[in-house]
Amino acid sequence: MSDKLWGGRFETDITEEVLNYTQTTNIDARMARYDILGSIAHLLMLKDTEIVDREDARAIMTILLDLHDKATRGKLELDPRLEDVHFNIESAVIKAVGKEIGGRLHTARSRNDQVVTDTRLYLREEITQIAGDLLDFVDDLLLRAKENVNTVCVGYTHGQPAQPITFGFWLTAYASMYLRDIKRLMQALDTVNQSPLGACALAGTSFPIDREHTATRLGFSQVLIHSLDATSSRDFVSQSISAFAQLMVNHSKMAEEIVVWNSFEFGLVDLSDAFCTGSSIMPQKKNAVVAELAKGRTGRVFGALMQSLTMQKGVGTGYNCDLQEDKPMLWDSIDTTRSTTRVLRNQLASAQYNESRALDLCWKNFSTITELANWLTKQHDVPFREAHEITGQLTQKLIKSDLAPDAFETCAEFLLAKGIKVSIGELEEILDPKRVLARQTSQGSTGPDAVADLTSVLATQSAELRSNLDASIQLKNQTIENLLSEADAFSGASEPAPMFML
């Protein structure tokens, strides 16, 4: 007989090679605390439904609380020979109180409902962390946007100078994208925060368990009622990674702009030395490696999403070991998303923005010409299509003469030849990037007032999301605290003092 917890029907043990190929202990390590919390909730339920005798439950609880204490202090040691975290915890209990008592913990439970319970509890923690970090980033962006509603920046389409925008407009664009990312994280959290515990192996159980009991005590918002679905499905994993992947898209977009803007040729941003590294041969180099890596690491999260989807598609209903492959890349996608969110926030906070360079570019790069066309339509009643044609020809003439729109006299002469009288003073007014910006007043536009409005609209959204997130974190933490006090009180560690002592 094998000495494994499943050893009864086996004549020989698995080989070292098979153990190494199949075991997940090291990967599971970060779920150890959640495995113990799940076991504590399960045991309280077994005790309350009288499936396990109070005295036996008390003995097991004492060990579980001790293991929980060790896990929170990082002192819990797991043995890879025991295959996974679930067997490690159960074996530790059996080792401490014997099989006669310890062997009762696994009544009406399977590793199949356990593993998804642990993964969901851990993922819940991580999603709330990432959402909180991202809200901090959004608040930074909005604060800086408020200070930069008048700051000139260059707006590009097709990588070509398009129209002047304000730096505040650019910052609020990312705040606006990130707020949707936070909503997606919260939607994933809704899917994640459902309790599969009590689904057992696949079919439920003949024991009179109470699934609401464990779900409530673990802070799940509801029971994931269908046992076969609860144990077979990993859509909560792919939905979460999908939210991470979309967030990484936005991080990568920002990182790309930062790399380009930080270049000598653009010079719109000067990154702090603390976020760049040098070259082993070229002494002048200051490379934006953090931003480059943020772009590069995006592929890891996309890869995790593809891996997670592919892993699920070949599994019908009922647990298959294929599903064990959900964790390594999920972990990596969590770590990548969290570290990228934090480092990009810090990078931007310490980066200098160079408005004078932007102003210079906007005088020279023809990005104010659209506004001249608008002016001809507004002030001289030229149909816009014709105004476009005229200012297009003017652009061509200026480029051929190696001039820019600030060659006011050439511009005035050209327009006069077309029968449009515009003074030099007017041209100065029309083509000055700052004044171009001041005239952008449509809702959601780049003008200072519109950006100030955007900032406050987005700040309201951010505050609302923050209060929802804080409420769910508070509820989750309070619930786990209550679970531990209930377990503590039951195990006798903090039994009320006898009457005569009062």
Could you list the residues that contact ligand ARG (CB under 6 A)? 24, 84, 111-112, 115, 319, 321, 323-324
Distance in Å, CB of 211 to ligand ARG, minimum: 19
Phi then psi dihedrals of residue 162, to 5 deg: -115, -70
**What is the residue whose two structure tokens read 């997130």?**
469
Distance in Å, CB of 77 to ligand ARG, minimum: 18
The span from the CA of 123 to the CA of 237, in Å, is: 9
Sequence-distant (≥ 6) Cβ neighbours of residue 480 within 8 angstroms: 37, 218, 219
Residue 270, beta-bridge partner list: 352
Both tokens of 69, joined, read 């204490």
Sequence-distant (≥ 6) Cβ neighbours of residue 239 within 8 angstroms: 187, 188, 191, 192
Give 352: exposed, middle or buried? Use CB within 10 Å, 0-12, 13-18, 19+: exposed
Shortest Cβ contact with ligand ARG: which residue?
324
Q: Of 109 and 111, which has the nearer Cβ to ligand ARG?
A: 111
| Torsion angle, alpha carbons of 369, 371, 376, 377, to 10 | 130
Distance in Å, CB of 321 to ligand ARG, minimum: 6
Q: Of 319 and 353, which has the nearer Cβ to ligand ARG?
A: 319
Distance in Å, CB of 232 to ligand ARG, minimum: 11
The span from the CA of 100 to the CA of 486, in Å, is: 24
Distance in Å, CB of 445 to ligand ARG, minimum: 51
The span from the CA of 342 to the CA of 134, in Å, is: 8
Q: Of 24 and 341, which has the nearer Cβ to ligand ARG?
A: 24
The span from the CA of 451 to the CA of 457, in Å, is: 10
Q: Of 121 and 135, which has the nearer Cβ to ligand ARG?
A: 121
Distance in Å, CB of 307 to ligand ARG, minimum: 15
Distance in Å, CB of 500 to ligand ARG, minimum: 50
CA angle at 302 for the pair 113 and 468, rounded to the nearest 5°: 60
- List, by residue number, the catalytic residues: 158, 279
Sequence-distant (≥ 6) Cβ neighbours of residue 146 within 8 angstroms: 168, 452, 455
**What is the residue whose two structure tokens read 């604060």?**
143
Q: Of 23 and 163, which has the nearer Cβ to ligand ARG?
A: 23
* 8 A C-beta contact, residue 281 and residue 252: no
Q: Of 17 and 381, which has the nearer Cβ to ligand ARG?
A: 17
Q: Of 237 and 359, which has the nearer Cβ to ligand ARG?
A: 237
The span from the CA of 37 to the CA of 89, in Å, is: 11
**222-223 and 152-157 strand pairing:** unpaired
In 3D, which of 438, 437, 410 has the Cα closest to residue 424?
A: 410
The span from the CA of 64 to the CA of 48, in Å, is: 17
